[in-house]
Amino acid sequence: MTPELEAAYAEPHRRYHGRAHVEDCLAELAAVPGVSAAERRVLELAIWWHDAVYDPARPDNEERSAVRAEAALREAGEPAALAAEVARLVRLTKGHAVEPGDRMGALLVSIDLSILGRLPEAYDAYAAAIRQEYAFVPEDAWRAGRSAVLRRFLEADTIYPNEALRGRYEAAARGNLGRELDRLTGCSTEGGAPDF
């Protein structure tokens, strides 16, 4: 990891989007079969760079991360095509939408979203960390905004564009997202208020 990335992922406002998230994504990638060495390298670089810029108050983090990635990789002597592909993949993490047939994009997006399908305790820790990153947002606005994000995922035909990761995480992710949405909207059958 470059000193620039090391400093970025150590920023104190990052509660979820830090180095542990990157390492978790790298571990997910390592478990994916059928990825060539060249593809793996591109995906590893995209994972390292996808949250290089992270300011919860800004809407352009992915674009800024992509621009930095492409410039840094070109400066390091990497081929222009590789740098451009890494930047393209980083940009996909904004909306997590992938065109049909985009295998690399489907892999990166699915890996980035893998936390959604983890065990409930891991998901709840992730959700609490995201709330801490957005601590500047008043509670009512947070509930409305976060609920809209969760609904968007739940209303999608699929959360995970990669078939293997969909099989592994889709059902659990829908359960976790639904549980959090219930807490945020006060419809929880578990009782009690949200714990952030």
pLDDT tens for 92-115 read 999 999 999 999 999 999 999 999
Q: How far is CA 88 from the centre of its chain?
A: 15
Q: How confident is the model at residue 193 (pLDDT cuts 50, 70, 90)?
A: very low
Q: What is the pLDDT of residues 134-162, one digit of tens each?
A: 999 999 999 999 999 999 999 999 999 99
* Res. 170: pLDDT tops 90: yes
Question: In the prediction, which pLDDT does 31 show?
Answer: 95
Q: What is the pLDDT of residues 5-58, one digit of tens each?
A: 999 999 999 999 999 999 999 999 999 999 999 999 999 999 999 999 999 999
For 175-182, what is the mean pLDDT?
A: 98
Q: What is the pLDDT of residues 66-98, one digit of tens each?
A: 999 999 999 999 999 999 999 999 999 999 999
95: helix, coil or strand?
Answer: coil
Q: Which of 115, 178, 188 is nearest to 147 (CA)?
A: 178
Around Cβ 120, how many Cβ atoms within 10 Å?
A: 12
Evaluate if pTM is beyond 0.75. Answer: yes
Contact 51, 25 (CB under 8 A): no
CA distances from 6 to 45, 47, 102 (A): 14, 13, 30
94: helix, coil or strand?
Answer: coil
Q: How far is CA 191 from the centre of its chain?
A: 29
Around Cβ 34, how many Cβ atoms within 10 Å?
A: 7
Question: In the prediction, which pLDDT does 187 show?
Answer: 61
